[in-house]
Amino acid sequence: MKFTILRFDTIESTNTEALNQAKQGANEGLCIIARQQIAGRGRHGRIWISEKDAGLFFSLVLRPKIETRFLPLITLMSAVAVYDVLKELYNLKPDIKWANDVHIGGKKICGILAEMTETKKGLAVVVGIGINLTDVEMLRKI
């Protein structure tokens, strides 16, 4: 996959921007990253707080060529990827809270939101990941 990264200082929501870009024909691999989101969101319309420089906030456009019944696994695969990074790079002991949150010591430090949209190029899935790096650094010191 070829990655294209669009960086924003502040944005309403990386997922909203990625969905809009997908609808306009963005290729798989477009990654929207922001230092801050002012209208970030989670599942079921929940608010995701994304204070400036407190985390890693990004959304990735995917154009999966898999059976529709397997699409929900994208969220879990994303959680496993975050789990692996936190374990290997930070030497932490994360847990996946089914299926879109990553916790450390019972504290949520990552949320994942996958959204689908139909486009002229076919189905697009946007996976948004928000990791509270302030909490990760704090937990590393424990």
The per-residue DSSP string of the chain comes to ---EEEEEEEES-HHHHHHHHHHTTPPTTEEEEEEEESS-B-GGG-B--B-TTSEEEEEEEE---S-GGGTTHHHHHHHHHHHHHHHHHH---EEEETTTEEEETTEEEEEEEEEEEEETTEEEEEEEEEEEHHHHHHHHT-
The pLDDT of residue 138: 65
pLDDT of residue 49: 73
Q: What is the pLDDT of residue 127?
A: 98
User: CB within 8 A of 24, min separation 6: which ones?
Assistant: none
Distance CA 142, CA 139 (A): 5
Where exactly are the structural domains of the chain?
4-140
Q: What is the pTM of this model?
A: 0.92
What kind of fold does domain 4-140 have according to CATH?
Answer: BirA Bifunctional Protein; domain 2 (3.30.930)
Q: What is the pLDDT of residue 99?
A: 82
β-partners of residue 44 are none
Nearest C-alpha neighbor of 59 from the set 10, 134, 115: 115
pLDDT per 10-residue tile (average), the chain, 142 residues: 96 97 98 94 75 94 95 96 93 91 92 96 97 74 56
